[in-house]
Amino acid sequence: MRRAPRDPAPAKRWLAFLRNHREAIAAMDFFTVPTITFGMLYCFFIISHDRRRILHFNVTGHPTSHWLVQQLREAFPYDLAPRYLILDRDRKYGLEVFAAIQSLQSSAVRTSFQSPWQNGVAECWVESCRHDLLDHVIALNEAHLKRLLSDFVDYAPARR
């Protein structure tokens, strides 16, 4: 028997993965928000691919890998983690984060370099958050931004 060619366009394979495992995928990402005092806050969120709803979010001024491990524990407390977690190649995701993902019986799936389209659900939510909320309000501090995002997550419908 002849083998099928091995390289049928990597983009098609990625899209097939996303379509075939939609119910078992969650994505996690960061985005930055400047404050009124020209400080920088980092918003971390985990979004489900099947219903495009936010599973967990938090805000910090100094994200570390230990802080991220704690966020994963808070997001999935009772072994409710999805089968796959999509994340980019940010340096904030240290070895501790990958160990925590493995302890949740999940697989970390990293996107390619400079390929935001591979995490399109998360990028779309960031865009809608910026367009509908952050372009109209300036965050004062961490607590204020967390309250704004909490209201936005409760209010904003899932976009398709």
Prediction pTM value: 0.83
> Residue 5's pLDDT band (boundaries 50, 70, 90)?
low
Contacts 24+ apart (CB under 8 A), 95-104: 95/65, 96/65, 96/66, 96/68, 96/69, 97/65, 97/68, 97/69, 97/72, 100/68, 100/69, 100/72, 100/73, 101/72, 104/72, 104/76, 104/79
Q: What is the pLDDT of residues 65-107, one digit of tens each?
A: 999 999 999 999 887 888 999 998 888 888 999 999 999 999 8
CATH topology of domain 10-155: Nucleotidyltransferase; domain 5 (3.30.420)
Element (H, E) at 45: strand 40-48
Q: What is the pLDDT of residues 10-22, one digit of tens each?
A: 777 767 777 777 7
Mean pLDDT rounded to a whole number for the chain: 87
What DSSP designation does 139 have?
B
